[in-house]
Chain A
C-alpha cells in the first residue's frame, strides 16, 4: 500500500494552470526526487502536500487518510508532515535552541534535543541567533527543527540551492544517514539532478505542471522521455 498517494491533482493560480492531473505514489521509507525547471510546479506540489495551498481537483492521501481533496482539507499543523524551506524560514527572533524546540511542548525530552543538536553539528551554538550562523549551519538548523518532531514524511524544497559545494556534500550525507536512521520518507524538490542522485533512489520529472517521467535512474537513462530529461542526464553521464 502506498504511504503517500497523489491522485490526479490540479492547481491553478488565476488563469495559469500550474499542475495538471498529476498522479504518483510513494512507498514508506522511499526517497523520491522531484525534478523540474523553474515555474514547472515543483514547489506548488510540495505546498499542496504540506497543506499550505488548496487543491482545485484530485486528492492526496497520507497513510490511507485523505488529507486534501476538493471537499476536504486537513490543516497543515495536523498533517504531521515536516518541511524544510528553500530560504530556511528560521525564526529570526529565536536562538538556535529556541528554533529547535519551537514545535515541542513544555514536556520536551532534553536528552533528545541534545542528541539532535549533536547530530547536526550545532553544539556550542545554542545561544546564537540565525543571522549569526553560516548558510550550512542555518540549513542544518532548519532540518533539525523539523526532524525533532519525527514526522514520517519530510518535504525538502530546494534545500541545496543556497549551500556551497563542500557543505552540500556533507549535508547530503547527513540527511541520508538521518533519514535511514529515522526511517523517513523523503520528497526532495530540486532543479539539479546531481543533488537528486546523491540523495534519492527514485526520480519524478515535471514539465509545465505535468509528470513526464517516473522511475529509477537506470530506467530513466534507458528511455528518457524528453529533451529536458536528456539534458539533465547529460550532466551526470558526460
Chain B
C-alpha cells in the first residue's frame, strides 16, 4: 500500500510542472495568443531550424551508422565510440568555437585572410547538427545492428540491387529508430539557448528566457502552452504514421549483420566517410579549444574558479543522486509488482526529458511561485529549485537505464528466489540490486554528464551569486574579447563529460 501510494505521489511530482501550465487558463484568450505565437518569427525560425538540423544530422549519422553496423573496415571500433563523443561538447561551446575559427578575425582569417559569417541560420544549422547528430547515429546504429539479415537476403533473392535494398528495406526497417533519434534531436534544438542566442536567432527557448520574470509569469506560461501544443501535434503525426506498423525490429534468429571485411579503396572510403563528422564535431573544436585554453589555464585557475567547479559538481551530484534514487524506486516497483496501472503510469516518468527543458522550467517556476507565496520564502531562484528542475528533467535518463536493466533479467529469476522461501524485499536486496549494479553506475554517470552540460535550466534557476561552469562559459563567450577565456570552463566541461562517457562505452563493449 505504501509503495503504491509513493508511486502515485512521485508520478504526480514528475508531471506536476505540465499540469501547472494549465491551471487558471482562459482558453479563448489562450487560443488568440497561440495564433499570434504561431505566426511569429520565433515560431517559424524554430520550425525551420528543426527541419534543417534534422536533414544535416541525417547526413552525418545515417551512412556512418550503417557502415559501422554492417561492415568491417580500418578504425571501425574506435570510430564507433568517437561518434558518441560529440555528446560531451555542449552546442553553445561548439557555436563559439566555430565562430572563432571561421568568423571575422578568427583562426582561418589569420592564416588565409578569408572568413565566413556563420552567425546566421545556416551556420547555426551546421553547429547544431554536429552537436546533436549522435542522438540519431546511436539509435540508428543499434537498429541497423539488430536487423535480420534474412530480410536483406530475401530482398536480394527478390532481385533488389544494393540501392534498392537500402531504400526499400534497410532504411524503412530502421525508420522508428531514425524518427526516435530525430525526436530527441529536435527536442534539443528547441531546448537550445546558448548557441541560438549567440548566433542572434530567436526561438521558443530564447523568447521564454527573454520574457522570464518570476514577478509576471503569464507571458512565459502562454509561450509554454504554445510550445507544448506544437509538440503534441508532432506526437499525433508520429502516432498516425506508426499506429499499424507494430513489428519492426526483428527478433529470433539471424539478427545482426555478418560484417564483411572491406578492402582496398572501399576500406579507406568507409574510414573517411565515418571520420568526417568526428573531425568536425570533435577533433577540430577540441584542438582549437586546447590551443586557446591551455595558455590561460594557470591564469584562470584561482579560488573563484575552484568555487565554480565545486558549485557545478555539488549541484550535479545532489540532483544526480536524487534522480537515481527516484528511478531505482520507480523501476523496482514497476518490475516487482508488475501491475498494469503502474506500467501505464511509467509512460509519464520520462516526460521531463521528452520536452524542451525550458517548458519544464516554466512549469517549475509556476509551482515554485505558488509555493513561495504559500510558505512566505523565496523559492523561485534557489539551488534547491535548480536541483529539483534537474531531477524532473533527467529522471528519465536514469529511469530508462535501470528499466532496460530490469527487462534483461534472466527469465523467472525472481520467481526462483520466492520459490526458495525469500520474500520480495529480500529478493530485491539480494537478487535485483546486485544484478542492476552496473546499470546503476551507468545511470549515475549519464545523469551527471547531462547536468554538467545543461545550460537553459541553469540559466533560468540559478541565483545571481551562484554560478556553474556552463554559465561561466556562456557569460564569457557573450562578452566581447573574452572568447579565449571561455575555452577554460568549456574544456573542463568537456573533460568532466568525456571521461565517464568513455568509461561507460568501454564497459559496454
Contacts and interface: CB of A to CB of B under 8 A. Distances in A.
Interface of A: 47, 50-52, 75-78, 80-83, 85-87, 89-94, 102-103, 129-131, 145-146, 149
A68 B160 CA distance: 19
A91 to B, nearest CB: 6
Given A87-B253, A93-B173, A129 B245 contact: yes
Nearest to B156: A76
Given A77-B159, A129-B244, A130-B247, 12 more contacts: A75-B156, A81-B157, A82-B157, A85-B154, A86-B253, A87-B148, A89-B151, A90-B154, A92-B245, A94-B172, A129-B245, A149-B159
A52 B148 CA distance: 14
A83 B157 CA distance: 6
B168 interface: yes
Which of B148, B169, B173, B247 has the most chain A CB atoms closer than 10 A to its own CB?
A: B247
Contacts, number: 76
Interface of B: 148, 150-151, 153-161, 168-169, 172-173, 175, 244-248, 250, 252-254
A81 B157 CA distance: 6
Given A91-B169, A93-B175, A50 B248 contact: no
Which of B155, B252, B253 has the most chain A CB atoms closer than 10 A to its own CB?
A: B155
A89 B150 contact: yes
A80 B159 CA distance: 7
Name the prevailing secondary structure of the A interface residues.
loop
Contact of A50 (B153, B161, B246, B247): B153
A89 B244 CA distance: 19
B160 A103 contact: yes
Contacts of B168: 102
B150 A85 contact: yes
A145 B151 CA distance: 13
A131 B245 CA distance: 9
Which of B154, B175, B254 has the most chain A CB atoms closer than 10 A to its own CB?
A: B154
Contacts of A93: 172-173, 175, 245, 248
A210 B14 CA distance: 64
Nearest to B249: A92
A102 B168 CA distance: 9
Which of A52, A78, A92, A130 has the most chain B CB atoms closer than 10 A to its own CB?
A: A92
Contact of B156 (A52, A90, A130): A52
A224 to B, nearest CB: 31
Contacts of B245: 92-93, 129
Contact of B173 (A52, A75, A82, A92): A92
Contact of A77 (B156, B252, B253): B156
Contacts of B244: 129
Contacts of B247: 92, 129-131
A149 to B, nearest CB: 7
B157 A76 contact: yes
B160 A77 contact: yes
A146 B175 contact: no
B157 A50 contact: yes
A146 B173 contact: no
A83 B159 contact: no
Contacts of B151: 89, 91
A68 to B, nearest CB: 14
16 contacts: A47-B153, A50-B156, A77-B157, A83-B157, A86-B253, A87-B252, A87-B254, A89-B148, A89-B154, A91-B172, A92-B250, A93-B173, A93-B248, A129-B244, A130-B247, A145-B154
Nearest to B242: A93
A145 B175 contact: no
- Which 4 pairs of residues, A with B, have the shortest CB-CB distance? A103-B158, A89-B154, A76-B156, A89-B150
Nearest to B160: A77
Contacts of B153: 47, 50, 52, 76, 83, 85, 89
Contacts of A149: 158-159
Contacts of A90: 154
B445 to A, nearest CB: 35
A97 B246 CA distance: 17
Nearest to B164: A77
B482 to A, nearest CB: 52
Contact of B155 (A47, A78, A81, A102): A102
Contact of A103 (B159, B172, B175, B250): B159
A153 to B, nearest CB: 11
B159 A92 contact: no
A134 B362 CA distance: 50
Contacts of B254: 87
B171 to A, nearest CB: 10
B260 to A, nearest CB: 10
Which of B148, B150, B168, B172 has the most chain A CB atoms closer than 10 A to its own CB?
A: B150
B411 to A, nearest CB: 21
B248 A92 contact: yes
Given A87-B150, A89-B150, A129-B244, A145 B156 contact: no
Contacts of B150: 85, 87, 89
Contacts of A89: 148, 150-151, 153-154
A188 to B, nearest CB: 16
A86 B252 CA distance: 11
A45 to B, nearest CB: 15
